[in-house]
Amino acid sequence: MPSQSASGSSTPIGQLTRMAYPPAEWELLIDLPARVMIAATSAEPHSPSQTVSEGLAGMEAIAAGRASDSDLVRAVVAAIYSRSEDDQPAAEEFTDRAAALAGVLAACGAVTRVLSARADPADSAAYRQWLQHIAARVRGATRAGRVPGPGRERFGADERRFVADLGAALNL
């Protein structure tokens, strides 16, 4: 839905949303969903086929942001999908899983502060909940791939800790 600028020209809401953030903050907003997805798939080691299922679930959760009521979430999804292949972030290999997960959680804390300072409270909440939803969808794919038995839980301690820490970093 276009908005009228002061000069009378029509500007898409996504572009207005992007203009509200300095480039480094905007990049953080559009890179973080994929980083959360990767972190959620990496919270505990899994088989390659399980990791693929988790990644697909995470990508579906990112794409689901297109239907969000939030202008910010929709603008971020549009920016993610409008990137050329050359502009796509490189897939992260977590050689030091603990440090990588801590880095993603720190980025979530930073984005929470950015949103608190710049975003409409409803957009801020929607974006942070969307990130949590991405991790939950990955976790749901994890759950679907495991068959609990005596002494075996559906989720490991590291997965539970990551989800709890993510919620704390996002102030949810």
3-state secondary structure the chain: CEEECCCCCEEEHHHHHHHCCCHHHHHHHHHHHHHHHHHHHHCCCCCHHHHHHHHHHHHHHHHHHHHCCCHHHHHHHHHHHHCCHHHCCCCCCCCCHHHHHHHHHHHHHHHHHHHHHHCCHHHHHHHHHHHHHHHHHHHHHHHHCCCCCCCCCCCCHHHHHHHHHHHHHCCC
This model's pTM is above 0.75 = yes
pLDDT value for 20: 87
Asked if pLDDT for residue 78 goes beyond 50, the answer is yes
Tell me the per-residue pLDDT of 17-48, one tens digit each, with 9 for 90 and over. 778 899 999 999 999 999 999 898 887 766 56
Of 2-16, 91-105, 132-146, which gets the smallest average pLDDT? 2-16
Tell me the per-residue pLDDT of 131-172, one tens digit each, with 9 for 90 and over. 999 999 988 876 655 444 444 445 567 778 888 999 999 999
